[in-house]
Amino acid sequence: MPPNFCPNCGIKIKADYSEYCPKCGIKIGSKSPQTPTPPPPTIPIDSSSHIPPSSEKNTVAEEKGIKKNWFNIAILLIGFVIVAAVFAFFVLGAGFFTPHTLQPTVVTPIPTPVPTTAPQISTKTTIPTPTLVVTTTLTPGLSQVIIPSNGVWVRASYPGTYIGLIGTPGNQLEVSGTGDKLYQIPTSEGTVAATLQKKDGSSDKILLEIYKNGVMLQRESSIAPKGIVVIQLDLKNVPSDVEQSTTNIQMIGGVYGISANPAAGIDEIRFTIGLAPGASPIDLTKMKIVYSTPSTTPTILTQYTAASTGMFTTKLNGATSVSSMTANEQVEIAFKVAGVGPNTKMTIELRPSIGAALPFSKTAPPTILATNILY
């Protein structure tokens, strides 16, 4: 009968035992019955220098387990490192962890739109306003306005008060005044538009004239109460010979009829002349004046120091007798005529010794006064 316990490791031996211990493998007997042998004496074993076989196997198994565990841990670490490296590659490549210097945030205020009205561009050309230049009281015997030798001018003349519009079409200046006045027109080839009206009901003549470069181009007049005179002249349509017709002499101001006895009609004619621009001095002693009316034959007058029906006087500024006329001088011409009744037309022609003659016609007013503006 086998022992109940292994003599080596001390485990309990079952009844169907083998010759060897199932734990430590030591031979412990056979199935044939043997005489029991007393167990050997127990010898104390130094645990520090001896490891039982079972402990050695356990240690080997534990060492193998530990090695296997370290191997698994190493594989896990390597896998973690690989995953971390891939993650870092994508994250850093996307710029999530790119180092940069923190910059201060600049907030730019957005201005609130303010509604504005777009400027309107005018396509209209602004034409300078006609300029009032000279004012002279209309009094016979005194010098009248001087017509400038350059530019386009409108002359307005009336003993009473007048109103009107003077300038170019669409750009006219409102005017009012009395006596003789000149207005410069800011055009040389355009159209001159002028309108005058008497403010009173008198029969005195209101006169409207247009000049270019010192030469009169057109004249309109009226003696009707509150009478109106209108001129619209296109300077491009003025014949060149009109501007050149008074090469040496030009009229300055109006022509006046003087009457010592209005009932007997006009008995003296007065007007003022000057040199045309660029003209040479004139010898007035050689100048002739031809005068006529529908009922009289032409009369040729010559220069003298006293006026008569056959002689005319030449006085500088209406005061001092002169025998010649130079640039910028105004010479008043005066001569006597036989009594000229109302509405009588008179033809006068100035014939200087050098240059073209200057003819013009004038008409007496319906009512003869001491001083009359001939129109």
- By CB atoms closer than 10 A (0-12, 13-18, 19+), residue 147 is buried
pLDDT in tens, 272-307: 999 887 788 999 999 999 999 999 989 999 999 999
Strands 311-316 and 299-303: parallel
3-state secondary structure of 164: strand
The pLDDT score that the predictor gives to residue 119 is 47
* Model confidence at 368: pLDDT above 70: yes
The pLDDT score that the predictor gives to residue 109 is 56
* Model confidence at 125: pLDDT above 60: no
pLDDT in tens, 240-281: 545 444 458 889 999 999 999 999 999 999 999 998 877 889
Domains of the chain: 128-244 (2.60.60), 246-375 (2.60.40.10)
The pLDDT score that the predictor gives to residue 87 is 72
Percentage of the chain modeled with pLDDT above 90 = 39
- Contact between 175 and 183 (Cβ < 8 Å): yes
The pLDDT score that the predictor gives to residue 314 is 96
Binning pLDDT at 50, 70 and 90, where does residue 35 land? Answer: very low
- Contact between 272 and 333 (Cβ < 8 Å): yes
- Please indicate whether residue 79 or residue 53 has the higher confidence score (pLDDT): 79
Least confident of 87-96, 150-159, 251-260, 311-320: 87-96
Neighbours of 174 (CB within 10 A): 9
Neighbours of 216 (CB within 10 A): 20
* Model confidence at 355: pLDDT above 50: yes
* Model confidence at 11: pLDDT above 50: yes
- Please indicate whether residue 49 or residue 193 has the higher confidence score (pLDDT): 193
- Contact between 283 and 302 (Cβ < 8 Å): no
* Model confidence at 55: pLDDT above 70: no
Per-chain mean pLDDT for the chain? 78
The pLDDT score that the predictor gives to residue 216 is 77
The pLDDT score that the predictor gives to residue 96 is 46
Dihedral sign, Cα of residue 92, residue 96, residue 97, residue 100: positive
Q: What is the mean pLDDT of residues 346-373?
A: 91
